[in-house]
Structures are given as structure tokens and as C-alpha cells.
Structure 1
Amino acid sequence: MPQQTKLRDKRILVIGLGRFGSSLALELVNHGWEVLGVDSNPRLVQAYADALTHTVIADATDDEALRQVGAPQFQRAVVAIGTHLEESILATSQLVDMGVPDIWAKAISRRHGRILEQVGAHHVVLPEHDMGERVAHLVSGRMLDYVELEEGFSLGKTKAPKELLGKPLRETKVRQKYGITVVSVKRLHSAFTYATEETVLQKGDVIVVAGRTDDVERFAEVT
């Protein structure tokens, strides 16, 4: 299939309709995707039959069952099985063997995630771990929001500290002092906009900064 056709293909297979899988599937439908939801639990399949494009009762660890629901024809698939590690790993492995080119898999621990990567998952997400880490950053400091883009590098949203106010960012030497870059700014009653070297921050501004996680955390404590 040509690359452009792949990019336009808005069909996705979601295996596992528990809390994470169902929430993801419903959000994808809201964004215009055709979602095939698969679960071995008839109650869950019935619960989302009207909300998703298609739902099927099937054992995702069974190669033949996955082939019958058309899994090999999907360009993207999500294995949202969480607590049953063996089922999660087997389902992911089946999709890999079928040649599905873009496989996302939910993990409940870093060890689980490493195994999923080893069997061939292209993307591994740890929703509980990531949310716990994010909330920990929010409750323990001055950050208003926090996203880890990859291990050791993050974005943080915080109020502009006093020492940066009233002069262009290039004069604040913020990158040299703190190792972070101010990437955007939001004024009161305004939307976020890109920050430049000439941006002058004002009292009450909210800024988004990028940098190594330790540096972002340190900067968020500056008042």
C-alpha cells in the first residue's frame, strides 16, 4: 500500500475494551476514525457495540480468530490488554507475525513494556505509570502541567518567574542559567503563542519550557 494511502487510512483495531481501551476507542471515534473493538468479554463488547464502528467477541491470542476479524488488513492496532500479561504479549506477537505495520501496546510496568518491545511492538505506553509521574510533578512543585517527551526530556508549564519579567528573553540568559528553552507564552485572556528571543514576559504570563527533566523541575521552582 502506498505511503500516502497508509496515512489516509483511518481504520484502527483496538484489542481490549477495558477502561483504557474503551476510552481510547471512543476518543478515536470522536476524531473520525473507524474503530474495530475486540474483546473476549461479551459484556464489554455489548456495552460498546453502539458507540464504536464495529465490535467483535474474539480471543486475541488466537491467530485464526484475529485473522477472521481482519486484523492483517489494518495498518494500525492497539493492544490495550493490561492486567493479563500473557494475553497482552501473545496478542502483540500475533499482530507482529501478521505484519501489522504500526502496533501500540499498553504495559503495566517497565518490565512488561520491555517484553512488548522485544516481541515487536512499535510503541509502548504505560498510562498508569505516566499519569502517576505527571501528577507527582504537579503536586510536588509549581508546575501547572508536565509532559515527558522521552526519558530525560520534558515540557513543563509554569508561571513566568519574576527574574524573567520586563526584558527580552535573549537578555535573561535563561538557557545558560537553567538549561531550558522558553517555547511558548500565554497572556491573560489570550491563547498560547510562540516565544522568541524578543518576547518580553509580563506578570501573570504562563510559559511552556523544554529541556532535560531535571532542569525543567529546577526551573519550575524559581519564583
Structure 2
Amino acid sequence: MAENPSEALDARLRPGPSTSSKKDAGVLVIGLGRFGSAIASTLERLGQDVLAVEKSPEIVAQWAGRVPLVEADCTNPDALEQLGARDFSVAVVGVGSYLEASVLITGNLVDIGIPQIWAKATSPEHSRILQRIGAHHVILPESDAGSRVAHLVSGKLLDYIEVEDGFTIVKMRPPKETQGFTLAQSKVRSRYGVTVIGVKSPGAEFQYATPETRVSGTDIIVVSGHADLLERFAARP
């Protein structure tokens, strides 16, 4: 599972089939700080169509030749028009440290009708503002990463990703009461309200779980469910 919260977004940022008459130019990434540059470079590495936009000439020079890039100030609606922003199905606003710029850029993208707008926020208040002006997805990278690490250092979890509304996927060692039994025998879902998605045994390939899947003490299991239920399950001896 991805270590970097920004890289964890890459699959969800890939444009899906367009339902409009717009040309799908891919993903527009505005701002090449640590967050925006990680998204742009990851999408580029995955072969996705991406265009990065940065205001600072120094940062533009740093990233020139590494990702498709233009220098522009996207707080100006005319700049967005000139670079063809209307043709993009997804836009990411990586500008977070400057609240006014973040809000202006997001508002400009809303005004031109970008189907999916992802925006970085630096605080819950910033997040609420972005949501109110029309951002479809708001990310708080530091808060999300801090929450994730807290879950990892406080228990038996090996990895932790909260998907949405408390639904979470974790990687963990199996509790002793499940070891040596099939999932049907241990009744994990009915007893604990969580679902074992798959099992990885040492030296073997990952296998999707079935009721007949037998779990051993050396396995790593991938489990989904509500965060509270997963914490209780992981706390079992």
C-alpha cells in the first residue's frame, strides 16, 4: 500500500470515461510544491496525460523536462483560458499555503466547469471554504498522514488507509483465534463486523479470500470495514 498520501490518490485521479462532449486532456495539476509535484510526477510515470502549471519561475526551471509544464498564474481566469483548462476532466489544486490563491484558483476552475476538482487544504477551516465554493474533493495531506501514522504506531496494524466515511482497509497480522482455521470456521465477519479481503503467505502470491481460505500465524491479512471495528479486531491477542 502507498506510503505517500499524495501517491495514494493516483488511481482515483485517473480520468474515467467522459460523459460530456468535452475533449479529455487528462489531469491539470496547479502548483508544484511537494504535494502537487508528487501527484504530477506519479501520474506522468503511470503514463497518464498530465499538465502541470506553476507560477514561480524558479520552480518551473527545477521541473522543466521532468513533467509537461507551463508557467502561469492561475489566480487569473484568463491564464486558465489560455492554457486550455476547459479541456481537462480533472484538476488538482496543489496550492495550499496561500489561502487566497488556493480559493481563487479553485473558484476559477469551478466557474469554467471542470468535472472533477481536487484541492489541497491546510486546515479544517480551509477545507470547508474549498468545499463551499465547489471543490469536489478536498485533501488535508498532513492531517491524513498524521492520522494514519497514529493508527500504525498504536497497535498491530502494518498499513492503514481510510477510504471514505470511516470505511477503512488495513494490513495486519491475524489474531491468534483465527490462526489455523478457515475464514468460515473463525467467522470473522459475523463476530467482528469486518471482512478479510485477502491473505499473503510468506513466499506465495497474494490471494483473494474465500470462506475456505485458511489463515496461519505467519500470514499477513488485508481486512476492510469501519475503522472502529478494525481497531477492535486488530486489538485481539
Pairwise TM-score range, normalised by the shorter structure: over 0.9
User: Partner of 2:105: helix, strand, or coil?
Assistant: helix
Gaps of 5+ in 2: 1-16
For 2:204 and 2:22, the matched residues in 1 are separated by 34
**Post-superposition offset of 1:141:** 0.7
Match of 1:213 in 2: 227
Letter of the 1:154 counterpart:
T
Match of 2:60 in 1: 45
**Post-superposition offset of 1:176:** 2.6
TM-score normalized with structure 2 length: 0.87
User: Partner of 1:144: helix, strand, or coil?
Assistant: strand
For 1:215 and 1:32, the matched residues in 2 are separated by 37
Gaps of 5+ in 1: none
CA contact (8 A) 1:40 1:58 kept: yes
List 4+ stretches of structure 1 deviating above 2 A.
Answer: 2-11
Equivalent positions of 1:47-196 (< 5 A) are 47-53=62-68, 55-196=69-210
> Measured at CA, do residues 114 and 198 of structure 1 come closer, stay the same or move farther in structure 2, by a change above 3 Å?
same
> Measured at CA, do residues 196 and 7 of structure 1 come closer, stay the same or move farther in structure 2, by a change above 3 Å?
farther
CA contact (8 A) 2:18 2:24 kept: no
User: Partner of 1:47: helix, strand, or coil?
Assistant: helix
For 2:179 and 2:40, the matched residues in 1 are separated by 44
**Post-superposition offset of 1:8:** 9.5
**Post-superposition offset of 1:6:** 8.1
Which of 17, 27, 32 does residue 12 from structure 1 map onto?
A: 27
For 1:180 and 1:136, the matched residues in 2 are separated by 21
Aligned residues: 221
List per-residue Cα deviations over 1:73-96 (Å, max 9, x = no partner): 211111000111111111011011
**Post-superposition offset of 1:9:** 3.8
RMSD between superposed Cα atoms in Å: 1.9
Match of 1:32 in 2: 47
TM-score normalized with structure 1 length: 0.93
**Post-superposition offset of 1:185:** 0.6
CA contact (8 A) 1:37 1:45 kept: no
CA contact (8 A) 1:104 1:122 kept: yes
